[in-house]
Structure 1
Amino acid sequence: MYLVALGWLYVVLMMAVAEAMAPSGTVLGAVFTFLLYGVLPLSIVLYLMGTPARRQARRRAEALAEPDRGSLPSGDPVAPERKEP
């Protein structure tokens, strides 16, 4: 996943360099090309692709935070007092 991201950033960087070096291009146009074609879409895609890993990590952390109830029955630890008739 990260290899594709690095490849995409390389392509976008080359597009930005070509924009800056073009006779009618500007450095500002190159910056916007890099941000709008590279950083913004890539950050969205990486966030969406990382969702399952974040969800799994959250579930694992919640499982570790919960006390182990074991096989003991739940309820009041002290038995209620029984009244004789």
Structure 2
Amino acid sequence: MYLVLIAWIYVAFMMAIAEATSPVGSLLGAAFTFLLYGVLPMSVVGYIMGTPARRRAIKAKEAAERKQALAANGIQNNNDDVESVAPNTYREAPSHPVTPERKEP
């Protein structure tokens, strides 16, 4: 992930140097070239590429908080995969919305 970011920043830096050393270029143009072609797009790409890692960190934090809350309430849970929580805590649809009933003949 970081290799692409570093490579593109390098390319944008070289473009900025070419802009600054050009006879018709300026330092202001070089700064804008580096910011608009390098820093701004790569910050967006880095944010998008870092989304899965942020999600994993949030889920791990929520799991640790849930485990701490269970421990504070004195509830022991030996199974880490399935924890006892209130129904629809995660806004999931129930598996059977209507309880099936048989009709008597």
User: TM-score band (shorter)?
Assistant: 0.7 to 0.9
Verify: 1:8 aligned to 2:34, yes or no: no
Matched, 1:18 2:18: yes
Aligned residue number for residue 37 of structure 2: 37
Structure 2 partner of 1:81: none
Q: Which runs of 5 or more structure 1 residues have no equivalent in the other structure? A: 75-85
Q: What corresponds to 1:56 in structure 2?
A: 56
* 1:40-79: CA deviation from partner (whole Å, max 9, x where unpaired): 00000000110111011001000001133427x88xxxxx
Q: How many equivalent pairs are there?
A: 73
Match of 2:28 in 1: 28
Greater Rg over alpha carbons, structure: 1
1:3 deviates by 1.0
SS at match of 2:5: helix
Could you list the structure 1 runs, at least 4 aligned residues long, displaced by more than 6 angstroms after superposition. Answer: none
Q: Percent identity?
A: 56
Correspondence for 1:82: none
For 1:4 and 1:41, the matched residues in 2 are separated by 12
- Structure 2 gap ranges (5+): 79-83, 86-105
Match of 2:47 in 1: 47
TM-score (norm 2): 0.65
Return the offset for 1:4: 1.2
Matches of 1:3 and 1:54 in 2, distance apart? 19
Kindly report the root-mean-square deviation, in angstroms, between the aligned alpha carbons of the 2 structures: 1.8
- Write the letter of the residue equivalent to 1:35: L
Which of the two has greater helix per residue?
1
